[in-house]
Amino acid sequence: QVQLVESGGGLVQAGGSLRLSCVASGRAFSTYAMAWFRQAPGKERELVAALSWSGGSTNYADSVKGRFTISRDNTKNTVYLQMNSLKPEDTAVYSCARGFTSVPKWDVSQYPYWGQGTQVTVSS
């Protein structure tokens, strides 16, 4: 059984930074792509960033490109999301997810396992 637990969310002023972490239980973490999603109140879930099993291939939403960095440490079964230059529109619940395969697909349906999420609030 796969369990994903996020941490690192909080309240930050615009222009600030946060680093989210997601620890995965279960075997074979290092063989799967991982991703971060976010969902703001009244909005659909948005794929923010994804990376391959090795971390060598990454994808980002245009809205966060250049500000967010996704990475992973397979020795710790952990994936990270470094968020810099935060904006009020980044406010959302951020969740990590594990993919079906090792390739970072840009499709919500390709991520069957999800964490509970962590709240990120950016004040203006």
User: Mind listing the pLDDT tens digit for each residue in 19-74?
Assistant: 999 999 977 888 999 999 999 999 999 999 999 999 899 999 999 999 999 999 99
Residue 120 in contact with residue 13, Cβ under 8 Å?
no
Using DSSP, state whether 110 is helix, strand or coil. helix
> pLDDT value at position 42?
94
- CA angle, 97 as apex, 121 and 13 as ends, to 5°? 15
Distance CA 93, CA 80 (A): 15
Q: At a CB cut-off of 8 Å and minimum separation 6, what does 56 contact?
A: none
Band of the pLDDT at 1, cuts 50, 70, 90? confident
Q: Measured in whole angstroms, how far is the alpha carbon of residue 4 from the centre of its chain?
A: 11
State percent of the chain over pLDDT 90.
Answer: 90
> pLDDT value at position 28?
85
